[in-house]
Structure 1
Amino acid sequence: MQAFIGTGVALVTPFKKDFSVDVEALKRIVNYVIDGGVEYLVVLGTTAESATLTADEKELVIRTVKEANNGRLPLVLGVGGNNTMKVVEELKTRDFSGFSAVLSVSPYYNKPTQEGIYQHFKMVAEASPLPVILYNVPGRTASNMLPSTVIRLANDFKNVIAIKEAAGDIVQAMKLLQDKPKDFLVISGDDMITLPMVLAGGAGVISVIGEGFPKEFSEMVRLGLQRKVDEAYKLHYLLADSIDMIFEQGNPGGIKEVFKSLGLSENTVRLPLVNVNEDLANRLDAFVKKVVN
């Protein structure tokens, strides 16, 4: 579990202008974030636009990331959904070589009860050959996995090792930190409150902004873990405006605009997502030039 302390980044899937997967850009991005000092990589999460990728494209993304990473950092694979049996089947049949854990989102759209969420993850935990990181993101799933449910899963299944907590609620995060088993990791899924969560006892972050500014953001997290509060908050406030901007018109439209400014990839997204507007694109470009140059 030490592998998941610090900064993980939720990798985008870069597309060419014809909407095909840009393999070379993905390799550039992997090297960029590794060189920037992040601790691990998350493949095929929400930021990867996984919902719009075909099965073949997902395999291409996995192969590309594994090749570019070349064993340098731990890899986490997103395996989740709102059809429990389909998730279980993937967990039982997929080749997980090269991966250290799975990230599994709380079921979306169906709006299950807390008992339904528990039973879903019970089956996930029993089927998974790898440690499981739960993922709570009520803004996307339309249901909130309560701390009591998370703690119940953490206590009942040894391979449920962590949660990516993205409710954006620092009070809820603190309740998790208060009640969790000793070795269970509470990982921020909200870039803006990552530092407060770390200082309250969190293990780090699975980040979007950390992909665009890996050097600064991963150093902020490390300083927070070391309790160097003033130094950490200096970096937080350096990046705070960019965190607001990259989510202003949806994810990953904002972070892909950052990558375009960095010269790493096109800013192409797939419908139903669209590019950020010209005003936001200009503001993001100006921010990149200020921080990186």
Structure 2
Amino acid sequence: MNKFRGTGVALVTPFNADGSVDYGSLEKLINYQIDGKVEYLVSLGTTGESATLNKEEKKKIWAFTAEINNGRLPLIAGIGGNDTAEVIDTIRNFDKEGYSAILSASPYYNKPTQEGIYQHYKAISESTDLDVLLYNVPGRTASNVSPETTCRLAHDCKNVIGTKEASGNFDQFNQIMRDKPEDFLLISGDDPVALPMIALGASGVISVVGNALPLQLSEMIRLCLAGDFAAALPLHLKLIEFTRLIFAEGNPAGVKAALKHFNVCGDQVRLPLVPATAGLAEQIIKQIQQN
């Protein structure tokens, strides 16, 4: 599980002007991350606009990402949803060649009970021999995976190896750290709180910021994991305003504006998302230049 210690990046999905997937830019993005010394990649997490991609597009992106990565970094596939049977069907029909784990966001909109969330993830874990990472993001799903449910899954399901926690609730993080199995991974799902979470015992971050600034972010995370918070703190503080700006009009519009500045990919997104406004894009570029 050390393969998921450090900086993972939830890759954006580049699009052409006509809305089709831009595979040339996706190749550039993957190589940009590897050159930026991140530890692993997440293909088609929610930052990848997976909600607006059809099944065939997803299969092609997963296969293409594995081909371009070519074993250089561990790969995680984002496969989640609010229909348990459909999630399981996707996992069973996805070509897992080159992938080490599944990252699965908790069910959205349905607002299941904790028992429903437990049974959802238990069914997913039993459907695959890949490792499974939970993803708790109540601000988007309208339900919280409680610490008790997280740790119950960690103890009951051998291939549930960690959780990407984006609840922002440090009381919840405390409880998970206290009650989880020793080798279960607590991973920050929010860039701004990665440093304090690692101080608590988290194993790193699955990042949006890393798409644009992989070298800066991954260096900061490595310093934190080495316990050198004095050296990490200035890097963390330097990223605060950039992070605020890229989320100001939603994700991934902001980080795509930054990637366009770096000539990695365009800033196109799929409806109902829209690109960052010209004013915000200008602020993001100015912030990059100041750093």
TM-score (norm 1): 0.97
- Alpha-carbon deviations, 1:132-164, whole Å to 9, x = none? 000000011000001000000000011000000
Correspondence 1:143-162 to 2 at 5 A: 143-162=143-162
In the other structure, the counterpart of 2:74 is 74
In the other structure, the counterpart of 1:188 is 188
In the other structure, the counterpart of 1:58 is 58
Give, in whole Å, the separation in 2 of the partners of 1:174 and 1:222: 22
Tell me the CA shift for residue 279 of structure 1: 1.5
In the other structure, the counterpart of 2:86 is 86
In the other structure, the counterpart of 1:251 is 251
User: What letter matches 1:195 in structure 2?
Assistant: L
Give, in whole Å, the separation in 2 of the partners of 1:129 and 1:139: 30
- 1:262 equivalent to 2:262? Answer yes
1:262 and 1:288 in contact (8 A); partners too: no
In the other structure, the counterpart of 1:226 is 226
1:261 and 1:288 in contact (8 A); partners too: no
- 1:6 equivalent to 2:22? Answer no
Tell me the CA shift for residue 177 of structure 1: 1.2
Give, in whole Å, the separation in 2 of the partners of 1:93 and 1:19: 25
1:137 and 1:144 in contact (8 A); partners too: yes
User: What letter matches 2:84 in structure 1?
Assistant: T
Give, in whole Å, the separation in 2 of the partners of 1:171 and 1:264: 38
Give, in whole Å, the separation in 2 of the partners of 1:75 and 1:159: 16
Tell me the CA shift for residue 46 of structure 1: 0.3
Give, in whole Å, the separation in 2 of the partners of 1:231 and 1:212: 21
In the other structure, the counterpart of 1:242 is 242
In the other structure, the counterpart of 1:177 is 177
Secondary structure at 1:85 match in 2: helix
> What are structure 1's unaligned runs of at least 5 residues?
none
1:91 and 1:129 in contact (8 A); partners too: no
Give, in whole Å, the separation in 2 of the partners of 1:61 and 1:94: 11
RMSD over aligned CA atoms reads 0.9
Give, in whole Å, the separation in 2 of the partners of 1:278 and 1:169: 33
User: What letter matches 2:142 in structure 1?
Assistant: A
- 1:129 equivalent to 2:119? Answer no
Give, in whole Å, the separation in 2 of the partners of 1:38 and 1:254: 20
User: What letter matches 1:115 in structure 2?
Assistant: E
Tell me the CA shift for residue 60 of structure 1: 2.2
Tell me the CA shift for residue 173 of structure 1: 1.4
- Alpha-carbon deviations, 1:237-292, whole Å to 9, x = none? 0111111111111000011001011111110001000111121110001122233x
Give, in whole Å, the separation in 2 of the partners of 1:62 and 1:224: 31
Correspondence 1:101-120 to 2 at 5 A: 101-120=101-120
In the other structure, the counterpart of 2:165 is 165
Give, in whole Å, the separation in 2 of the partners of 1:83 and 1:146: 20
Secondary structure at 1:121 match in 2: helix
- More deviation, 51-60/199-208: 51-60
- Alpha-carbon deviations, 1:23-45, whole Å to 9, x = none? 11011111111100100000011
Secondary structure at 2:9 match in 1: strand
Tell me the CA shift for residue 182 of structure 1: 0.4
Correspondence 1:192-207 to 2 at 5 A: 192-207=192-207
Secondary structure at 2:134 match in 1: strand
- Alpha-carbon deviations, 1:97-150, whole Å to 9, x = none? 110000011011100011110011110111122010000000110000010000
Give, in whole Å, the separation in 2 of the partners of 1:161 and 1:63: 24
Secondary structure at 1:17 match in 2: coil
User: What letter matches 1:89 in structure 2?
Assistant: D
Tell me the CA shift for residue 3 of structure 1: 0.4
In the other structure, the counterpart of 2:17 is 17
2:59 and 2:94 in contact (8 A); partners too: no
